[in-house]
Amino acid sequence: MNGIIEERKQSIVLKKAGMENSGITCDKDSVSGSVSQRACVYCGARVVLNPITDAFHIVHGPIGCASYTWDIRGSLTSGDDIFRTSFSTDLRERDVIFGGEKKLEAAIEEVVLKYQPRLIFVYATCIVGVIGDDVEAVCKSISEKYAMHVIPVKSPGFSGNKATGYKMACNAIMHLLKSYRNQPVQKGINILGDFNLAGEMWIIKSYMKEMGIPVISTFTGDSSYEKLIKAPSAQLNVVQCAGSSMYLANLMYEEFGIPYIKVSFFGVEDTTESLLKIADTLKDENARKKAEEFCAEQSERVEAIIAKYRKNLEGKRAAVFVGGGFKAISLIHQFTALGMKTVVVGTQTGKKDEYEVIEKIADKGTVILDDANPAELEHYMVEMKADILVGGVKERPLAYKLGIAFCDHNHERKHPLAGFDGVLNFVEEINSSINHPVWDFIKSEVSSYE
């Protein structure tokens, strides 16, 4: 392809027959000038923590960081909704010169005195370290003064990529949990890496209820201070979005001895497998029995509907560009189940082991890219004749401009894609975009009157 940046060439591989583990370059800083689709450390941290519904999320930095992340994600709440309000210290020129520490201190104190919150997160953005603000010290002194938790989140944008931000968020959560480590173990699990987009956490919890497995804490979809602090008492951590939360699962294993398993609730196959895995890990035969019955019943319901769609979708070609590798893997499985081929697979921040799995399960000829840019996506979607792109909203207009259907699998969507209901939503969305009548008209040109 013409116009692939030299430094990017090792991040694009073509799946060949019998070849796996081609050693794609991933988990690296983005190449300057490449128009990466990635956001920054702060974004990663914010994504993970923001769904904590009753926390005050204070962004210490200039206004942009707060402005572009305010309430754009579809995490739902059953309780308080403080998380939907954006708080920023809105640093200005004079703060950059004289420092923003005093402003931050006054801001946190105002919130503490006015609302008596139990939990505040303070996100340190790019410039606060550079201008010499000691965010940690401010947080510590206010925490002690008012006997509550003000937790610094070290998230200057330049200090890594989005995945670094996930880690910083996990560290902030551990900062909180460590104060509550001595709790007797109780029956039940924590769910990690689900953000209750469009109520997905509620779907997963309803499955747990069906199986008779109590859910102690959720990270972080629809969670609250009171619920979070019970987490150390759980028997098991169940990790849905591995990219964002494996690190937390590891920390909780080290600190509290809570074992973890990776699961995925995208697709019938993955959902069923995950529910059984949870029951088995807990050695709960009753739960396993219930899960088997439940999944059989649900699969039957869902499969009957999918069967109708399958004839519409068989042989269609999908391109996938999502945040993490685990989700990409689930999507490949889902497309295979629909009789579709995945021809392009990319992620923003996939890990080496995830790319190995992707290469293993992908069809021959599939293009695999890490941290792709719009030029590469354009090129490969056209070359591989993709019928649909699964991605985030930034990629949507590109797909449309190329006359390619689109499915939003990112944080802004307003319908669930997880669980059995999610499978149906997914199939419906794929079908209604791929088989939409507009494509019949836009691809032909207007006849001339001349």
Partner 1 sequence: MSKTKIDPLVHLNSNPCKMCMPLGSVTAFYGIRKSISILHGSQGCSTYIRRHMATHYNEPIDIASSSLTEEGTVFGGEKNLMTGLRNLIEVYHPEMIGVSTTCLAETIGEDVPAMIEKFYYAYPEYKDIEIISVSSPGYGGTQFEGYYRALSSILANVKMDTAPNQYINVILPPMSPEDVRLIKGAFEAFEIPIILFPDISDNLDREFEKDYKKLPSHGTSIDEIRKMAGARMTIELGMSFQKASPGRYLSDVYQVQYLPLHLPVGIRDTDIFYELLSKLSGKKIPERLKSLRGRYADAMIDAHKYNADARAVVYGEPDFVFSTIRLCAENGVMPVVVATGSVVLEMKEVIENEIRALADRFMIRNFDIVDDVDFKTIEALAVKNHANLMIGNSDGRRMEEELHIPLVRRGFPIHDRVGGQRLRSVLYEGSMTFMEEIANAVLSRKEVDFRDRLYHKYYKQEEETLLEKMNKDAVIRTVYVPVDRKKMEEKTRSHPCYNGCASESARIHLPVAPKCNIQCNYCVRKFDCPNESRPGVTSHVLSPEEAFARYKLAKEKVKNLNVVGIAGPGDTLANFDSTRRTLELIREYDPDVTFCLSTNGLCLPEYAQDLISLGVTHVTVTMNAVDIRIGAKIIQYVKYNGMLFEGESAAAILLSNQLAGLRILTAAGIICKVNIVTLKGINDLHIQEVVKTAKEIGCYMTNIMPFIQVKGSVFENLEATSTQDLAQLRKECSPLMKQMTHCKQCRADAVGTLNDDRFKEFDYSEAACKSVYNG
Contact set for partner 1, span 356-395 (CB under 8 A): 373-375, 378, 392-394
Binding segment (CB under 8 A) for partner 1, from list 58-66, 314-322, 326-334, 338-346: 58-66
Q: Which of residues 99-118 bind partner 1 (CB under 8 A)?
A: 103, 106-107, 109-111, 114-115
Q: Which of residues 206-265 bind partner 1 (CB under 8 A)?
A: 214, 224, 229
Element (DSSP H or E) covering residue 13? strand 12-14
- CB of 115 or CB of 253, closer to partner 1: 115
In the three-class reduction of DSSP (H, G, I as helix; E, B as strand; rest coil), residue 90 is classed as coil
Q: Which of residues 182-211 bind partner 1 (CB under 8 A)?
A: 182
- CB of 83 or CB of 260, closer to partner 1: 83
Q: How far apart are CA 359 and CA 351, in angstroms?
A: 12
DSSP string for residues in 198-253: TTHHHHHHHHHHHHT--EEEEEETTB-HHHHTTGGG-SEEEES-HHHHHHHHHHHH
- CB of 77 or CB of 264, closer to partner 1: 77
Can you tell me which of 17, 147, 307, 446 binds partner 1, judged by CB under 8 A? 147
- CB of 178 or CB of 308, closer to partner 1: 178
In the structure encoding, which two tokens stand for residue 249, read together?
A: 């699962």
Residue 448 engages partner 1 in binding (rule: CB under 8 A): no
Binding segment (CB under 8 A) for partner 1, from list 90-98, 192-200, 236-244, 321-329: 90-98
Element (DSSP H or E) covering residue 69? none
Of 367, 369, 368, 359, residue with least CA distance to 18: 359
Can you tell me which of 20, 23, 68, 285 binds partner 1, judged by CB under 8 A? 68
- CB of 69 or CB of 342, closer to partner 1: 69
Residue 445 engages partner 1 in binding (rule: CB under 8 A): yes
Q: How far apart are CA 103 and CA 94, in angstroms?
A: 11
Q: How far is CA 339 from CA 113, 318, 333, 419, 429, in A?
A: 58, 11, 10, 19, 16
Residue 17 engages partner 1 in binding (rule: CB under 8 A): no
Residue 98 engages partner 1 in binding (rule: CB under 8 A): no
Taking the complex as a whole, how short is the minimal distance between the CB of residue 243 and partner 1, in angstroms? Answer: 17
CB 194 within 8 A of CB 268: no
Binding segment (CB under 8 A) for partner 1, from list 179-187, 194-202, 239-247, 265-273: 179-187
In the three-class reduction of DSSP (H, G, I as helix; E, B as strand; rest coil), residue 190 is classed as strand
Q: What are phi and psi of 390, to 5 degrees?
A: -105, 120
Taking the complex as a whole, how short is the minimal distance between the CB of residue 339 and partner 1, in angstroms? Answer: 29
Residue 401 engages partner 1 in binding (rule: CB under 8 A): yes
Residue 7 engages partner 1 in binding (rule: CB under 8 A): yes
Of 327, 220, 311, residue with least CA distance to 267: 327
Binding segment (CB under 8 A) for partner 1, from list 28-36, 260-268, 323-331, 335-343: 28-36
Binding segment (CB under 8 A) for partner 1, from list 56-64, 252-260, 331-339, 361-369: 56-64
- CB of 75 or CB of 272, closer to partner 1: 75
- CB of 93 or CB of 440, closer to partner 1: 93
Q: What DSSP state is assigned to residue 37?
A: S
Determine the residue type at 424: L
Q: What dihedral angle (degrees, nearest 10) is formed by the CA atoms of 360, 363, 364, 370?
A: -70
Residue 43 engages partner 1 in binding (rule: CB under 8 A): yes
Can you tell me which of 89, 217, 235, 245 binds partner 1, judged by CB under 8 A? 89
CB 407 within 8 A of CB 433: yes
Sheet with strand 341-347: strands edge to edge:
12-14, 367-370, 341-347, 317-322, 388-391, 405-408
Q: Which of residues 290-349 bind partner 1 (CB under 8 A)?
A: none
Binding segment (CB under 8 A) for partner 1, from list 3-11, 169-177, 310-318, 417-425: 3-11
- CB of 57 or CB of 341, closer to partner 1: 57
Q: How far apart are CA 34 and CA 376, in angstroms?
A: 10
